[in-house]
């Protein structure tokens, strides 16, 4: 195994085939490795198996790493299909920068990025494979997790985000579908760090950019520069949905939804679940503030407040008071197209004050 593989991944065996473009560390600096001299490159080092899922611009397969037999998840991004030809080179470079940044995140609740590269005009990323379901399976009013479990998950995610933000990495697409949970083993993983960033500043073939509106912060929807506090807004929206089966803002119209997120205060979470403690309602209200300077300054602060909620003796009683049910709650909230990744009209970027926030990587 080469020295850079040991430093990045700590694995005992080197891959049988070097990739065309992979993660490396040379003299402490992250750089793209030069193209290998061996004939076998890129995805030929993996045996793709069954499909695990697909999204707006990517498909994920279970794969076996040929060098050691380990099972991994391979996400293939269709950059050529989504982005204008003149932007492809920049998008690919941005993808590799983000993959390198994500590959340096080592946290028990963050899905580990193992490798990345290019396949023709498109790109791929190899990640650790974990069992379980993503949290979107627990957003139906009749399939919600226990209140204590939701709050505990929220605290763990806030702390994982705090770690990433201190490394200068912002997720930008926190939502239930990007968090994996295995109840049996208590494994929790935030997925897709950096993937949302590759569309920043580049237009798709239809002149649009990608995003998940229902979980986006007001500044992100407005096309402004974002920092870690935007992720905390998205986390607050996700916890709100996991507790109630409702999103903080919902509309059949994109224009109305964007207006609500920018201007309207969401209903108190106790409107849908009256038994929830006031302290929890206050945590969510703070995380969902319109102005980022009024939200939690860090994920650690949010995690500490959620842990204080967990310490309250009356929390378990809240589980007995189920959310209010209406005619629409029979369908999963995620069926709302705006709770999924969709194409949005690109807005002109501006500057968002970010005093005392960690500087994000370019």
The dihedral sign for the CA sequence 318, 160, 134, 182: negative
How far apart (Å, rounded) are the C-alpha atoms in residues 330 and 142?
Answer: 8
For the record, the structure tokens of 107 come out as: 């946290």
Tokens 């939701």 belong to: 150
What lies within 8 Å, CB to CB, of 317 at 6+ separation is: 275
| CA proximity to 161, closest of 257, 261, 233 | 233
The dihedral sign for the CA sequence 131, 135, 136, 141: positive
CB 230 within 8 A of CB 172: yes
| CA proximity to 48, closest of 33, 30, 66, 36 | 66
Q: Which of 87, 134, 162, 173 is catalytic?
A: 173
Bridge partner residues of 71 (DSSP): 64
How far apart (Å, rounded) are the C-alpha atoms in residues 81 and 232?
Answer: 31
CB 187 within 8 A of CB 90: no
For the record, the structure tokens of 220 come out as: 């992100």
- What CA–CA distances, in Å, run from 79 to 28, 88, 200, 251? 30, 7, 13, 30
- Has 115 been annotated as catalytic? no
Active site residues: 173
């Amino acid at each position: 195994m080469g020295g850079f593989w040991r430093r990045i991944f700590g694995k005992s065996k080197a891959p049988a085939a070097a990739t065309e473009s992979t993660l490396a560390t040379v003299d402490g600096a992250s750089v793209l490795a030069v193209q290998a001299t061996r004939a076998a490159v890129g995805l030929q080092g993996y045996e793709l198996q069954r499909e695990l899922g697909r999204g707006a611009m990517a498909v994920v397969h279970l794969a076996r790493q040929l060098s050691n037999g380990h099972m991994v998840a391979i996400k293939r991004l269709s950059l050529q299909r989504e982005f204008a030809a003149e932007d492809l080179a920049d998008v690919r470079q941005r993808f590799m920068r983000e993959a390198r940044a994500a590959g340096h995140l080592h946290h028990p609740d963050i899905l580990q990025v193992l490798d990345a590269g290019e396949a023709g005009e498109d790109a791929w990323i190899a990640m650790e494979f974990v069992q379980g379901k993503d949290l979107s399976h627990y957003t139906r009013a009749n399939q919600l997790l226990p209140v204590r479990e939701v709050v505990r998950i929220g605290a763990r995610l806030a702390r994982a985000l705090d770690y990433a933000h201190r490394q200068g990495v912002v997720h930008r697409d926190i939502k239930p579908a990007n968090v994996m949970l295995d109840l049996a083993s208590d494994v929790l993983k935030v997925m897709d760090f950096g993937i949302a960033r590759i569309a920043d500043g580049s237009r798709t073939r239809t002149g649009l950019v990608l995003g998940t509106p229902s979980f986006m912060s007001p500044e992100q929807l407005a096309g402004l520069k974002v920092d870690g506090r935007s992720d905390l807004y998205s986390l607050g929206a996700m916890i709100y949905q996991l507790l109630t089966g409702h999103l903080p803002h919902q509309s059949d119209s994109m224009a109305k939804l964007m207006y609500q997120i920018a201007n309207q205060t969401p209903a108190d979470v106790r409107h849908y679940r009256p038994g929830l403690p006031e302290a929890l309602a206050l945590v969510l209200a703070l995380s969902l503030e319109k102005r980022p300077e009024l939200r939690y300054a860090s994920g650690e602060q949010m995690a500490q407040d959620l842990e204080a909620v967990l310490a309250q003796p009356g929390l378990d009683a809240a589980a007995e008071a189920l959310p209010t049910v209406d005619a629409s709650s029979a369908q999963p909230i995620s069926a709302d197209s705006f709770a999924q990744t969709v194409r949005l009209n690109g807005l002109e970027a501006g500057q968002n004050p970010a005093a005392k926030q960690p500087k994000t990587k370019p």
